[in-house]
Structure 1
Amino acid sequence: MNKTFKLYGIIFIIVMVVLVLLEMSKAEVIDWRKNYQTKEKSPFGLYIFDQEAPKLLNNKLKKVALSPYDYYQDNKKYEPHNILLIEQDIDAESWKKIKNMVNLGSDVLVISDNSFPDPIESMDLHLSRVNFEDINTLKFTDKNLKNDSLILDKFPTRQGFTYVSEDVEILSTTDTFDEIGANFIKFKSGKGHIYFHSEPLFLTNYYLLSSKNSKYLENVFSYLPDRKTMWFTADSRESGSASSPLSFILANAPLRYAWYLLLIGLLIFIFFQAKRKQRIIPILKPLENKSVEFVKSIGNLYLQEGDFHDMMAKKAQYFLHKVRLDLFLDTKILDDKFAKKLQLKTGKNLVKIEEAIVLINKAQDPYAQVQKEDLIKMNNILDDILG
């Protein structure tokens, strides 16, 4: 095992130890967010209610992880029963299924502070703020229950139903109720009833820890008949209890598997990276390109000899070869016809092409007198034509 592999291994171990120590030594932080999750023991979770709900409903409670639409999809006959929805986003199709159950004699209790289904609008009910105080008191309209009020001293929602019609029975209000607001209402639908409560805080751990507050909870559920209750808990909301990134990752199966895959991939990378660096790859000198040096040598030889005629002839041969190869023109006869064809192919000036033909003919004439200036001129013209 070489030094690089040891170094990577030590760094990895140190990082893991630091993460574990941070996780173990972190201070507990109270999460005051309203999550309404049954597994949460934070102040506004529903852990206590989840534990007490079966007893509260006389052991006739059934939790359903499906949506109402999926659960009632079979369209079979159901005995009248209670339906419980807590902070649940209900789609239109699910609500249609629930309404069918209610019309046949079932009762539904919806407890939510922001997501109520269609009947709210259809009955001209509006959910809005009815109290702006930091402390609210929920109290029943029934005189027999007037002593079982509930004081909300932590983050009350302060929402209620306004413009309540005569067909709606108000069961509970806030302490500032002035005939335009209510938090717990009931109305008839078919053979059953629909209940709406706009303050789910009375279900949370913080308020249920007091036995006095639990009385309000019992009275709310006492309005439901003593029969089987279906609690639909299927929910897309994420729990906000994760107090650190690592605990949040480990609490979610997809993220947990991704984390393990990352660690395994890191170990594999370290292993192969270290193994790959164990062998020293020899540095091989690349082969030198002698072509440029050869061309330079030939050019210097021609310049030393001063044979400009031969250089012009070779340049002319190369040019005509390129014309035949790239432009597909016959170069046997270099006349006006050839010049016009070359002009069409290249788009160059016809006068310049005719001048180039004169110089090419001169280069191919073994008895012509050629000067250095002729070579330079022909080289520039031919390069421009094929450039």
Structure 2
Amino acid sequence: MKNSGKFGLMLLGITVLIIAFIDLASDKQIDWSKTYDQRDKIPYGLYVTREELPEIMENQVQVEDFTSTNYDFLKAFLSEKEQSSLVYIVNGFYEGKEVTGELLKFVERGGEVFISANGFPLYLLDTLGIKQQYHYPHNFNEVINVEDRPYSLADGKTAHYKDLDYPGLFCDLDTVNTRIIGHYAVEDREIPNFIELRRGKGRFLLHLEPLMFTNYYMLKEENFIYGAAVLKLLSNKEIYWFDSTFKGTQEAKTPLRVLLQNDGLRQAWYILLFGLILFLLFKSKREQRAVHVVDPEPNLSKEFARTIATLYYESGNPGNLIQKKVEYFLYEIRTHFQLDILQLEDELFARQLSLKTGVPLDECKNLVELLLRYRKVRTATDAELVALNKRIEDFKHKAHML
């Protein structure tokens, strides 16, 4: 029993040394999660922007946080903050119809709403009379150069951003109430990604690509100047920053929170627990047979799909691929929108498709005609296959099927 105790202490000491060595020698991995959280100091957090916002506004405004997760709270909050600005920097602005309606009333009374997001709800876009799309190259096989893409503001400030492969854009803009105040250059064209929409006594400032305000970009001088110029467009004296996570009410109440929040104390706690487990194991007189571990069957779906794709590619029969592409797309339409694809040749099918997807009727009619033409095709070219794939992918994006 004495020898067993000594052996356990030796093993515990060796374990502590190994853990300490691994902790000192290992490189801490960078977290590239796109949290858009004002507390996160990771590359895609918003800590720098939130902390620097008072300085950006030259300390002439009052900056506070708010959350809109509770509709009743937001309604009461906005009724008291008519001459103020709301700032949303989120991955996707997908508030419900009720919350969006309150924001519209808030703007009509003279408020100001700044939203930087990758996507907006259809209800808001339809109400404001605008559309949102994404920029894709004409040829999907070409290499996209995103290392030096310029983004400019109406006042002339320009910054270059990389890693923004398919940036968003606004289209079908009303020139009476809408003003383009930001764009990016692609193929010798200026594509709008930042607009101002007047509504009632107030206005919306809609900006696409919230990554521009994350720590990764705002720590670069050129990008910081661009981001600061965008935020300086806020005109009210009171600014309320939307807290997307609202962690204030989610802080752990356990007495161990002090240990778990400190790296050194947390490691010491884990070592102590591990040592206690070792002690119990060596003091226990029960011996248990080893249980044979049966590994589950590996998932070879990806390899199977790659093999089938290679066979189709080497067979050189684009017509067969077009038929399967059409049938799979029709299956998606049936499952997403509950439409009877057996009625594809019916004139009402395109109208029903347009109503359920929000895509214009003419585009739906053209797409249905294209599907009918290629559904029974036997021979085709690679160019036709690529063109059909582009048409289908464009439709999916407009119909929010992706």
Where on the TM-score scale, by shorter chain, does this alignment land: which range?
0.5 to 0.7
Matches within 5 A, 1:67-146: 67=69, 69=71, 71-74=73-76, 76-87=79-90, 89-92=93-96, 93-114=98-119, 118-122=123-127, 123-129=129-135, 132-134=144-146, 135-140=148-153, 142=154, 145-146=155-156
Matches within 5 A, 1:1-387: 2-31=2-31, 34-57=34-57, 58=59, 59-64=61-66, 67=69, 69=71, 71-74=73-76, 76-87=79-90, 89-92=93-96, 93-114=98-119, 118-122=123-127, 123-129=129-135, 132-134=144-146, 135-140=148-153, 142=154, 145-146=155-156, 148-155=157-164, 158-166=167-175, 167-176=177-186, 181-235=191-245, 269-277=277-285
Identity of aligned residues (%): 20
The verdict on how the C-alpha distance between 1:2 and 1:217 changes in structure 2, with shifts beyond 3 A counting, is: same
Q: CA deviation at 1:109?
A: 0.6
The verdict on how the C-alpha distance between 1:232 and 1:113 changes in structure 2, with shifts beyond 3 A counting, is: same
Asked if the contact 1:157/1:199 (under 8 Å) is kept, the reply is no
- Structure 2 CA distance for aligned equivalents of residues 180 and 165 of structure 1: 17
Asked if the contact 1:103/1:189 (under 8 Å) is kept, the reply is yes
For residue 207 of structure 1, give the secondary structure of its aligned residue in structure 2: helix
For residue 231 of structure 1, give the secondary structure of its aligned residue in structure 2: strand
Q: CA deviation at 1:271?
A: 4.2
- Structure 1 CA distance for aligned equivalents of residues 201 and 240 of structure 2: 18
The verdict on how the C-alpha distance between 1:100 and 1:5 changes in structure 2, with shifts beyond 3 A counting, is: farther
- Structure 2 CA distance for aligned equivalents of residues 252 and 100 of structure 1: 45
For residue 224 of structure 1, give the secondary structure of its aligned residue in structure 2: coil
For residue 50 of structure 1, give the secondary structure of its aligned residue in structure 2: helix
Q: CA deviation at 1:195?
A: 1.3
After superposition, the CA RMSD in angstroms is 3.8
- Structure 1 CA distance for aligned equivalents of residues 222 and 49 of structure 2: 15
Q: CA deviation at 1:201?
A: 3.0
Q: CA deviation at 1:225?
A: 0.9
After superposition, the C-alpha distances for 1:330-372 in whole angstroms (9 at most, x for unaligned) are xxxxxxxxxxxxxxxxxxxxxxxxxxxxxxxxxxxxxxxxxxx
Q: CA deviation at 1:197?
A: 0.7
After superposition, the C-alpha distances for 1:11-63 in whole angstroms (9 at most, x for unaligned) are 34433432332222223555555443334444443332122112223341112
Asked if the contact 1:67/1:232 (under 8 Å) is kept, the reply is no
The verdict on how the C-alpha distance between 1:214 and 1:274 changes in structure 2, with shifts beyond 3 A counting, is: closer
Q: CA deviation at 1:130?
A: 5.7
Asked if the contact 1:80/1:101 (under 8 Å) is kept, the reply is no
- Structure 2 CA distance for aligned equivalents of residues 228 and 169 of structure 1: 24
For residue 111 of structure 1, give the secondary structure of its aligned residue in structure 2: strand
Asked if the contact 2:182/2:193 (under 8 Å) is kept, the reply is yes
After superposition, the C-alpha distances for 1:157-189 in whole angstroms (9 at most, x for unaligned) are 522223333343211111128778311012123
Code of the residue aligned with 2:178 in structure 1: it is V
- Unmatched tracts of structure 2, length 5 or more: 138-143, 248-258, 287-402
Under a length normalisation based on structure 2, what TM-score does the superposition of the two structures give? 0.54
The verdict on how the C-alpha distance between 1:12 and 1:62 changes in structure 2, with shifts beyond 3 A counting, is: same
For residue 185 of structure 1, give the secondary structure of its aligned residue in structure 2: strand
Point out the more displaced range, 173-182 or 128-137: 173-182
Asked if the contact 2:68/2:74 (under 8 Å) is kept, the reply is no
Q: CA deviation at 1:264?
A: 6.7
Q: CA deviation at 1:199?
A: 2.0
After superposition, the C-alpha distances for 1:286-320 in whole angstroms (9 at most, x for unaligned) are xxxxxxxxxxxxxxxxxxxxxxxxxxxxxxxxxxx
Larger Rg computed on CA atoms: 1
The verdict on how the C-alpha distance between 1:137 and 1:62 changes in structure 2, with shifts beyond 3 A counting, is: same
Asked if the contact 1:163/1:180 (under 8 Å) is kept, the reply is no
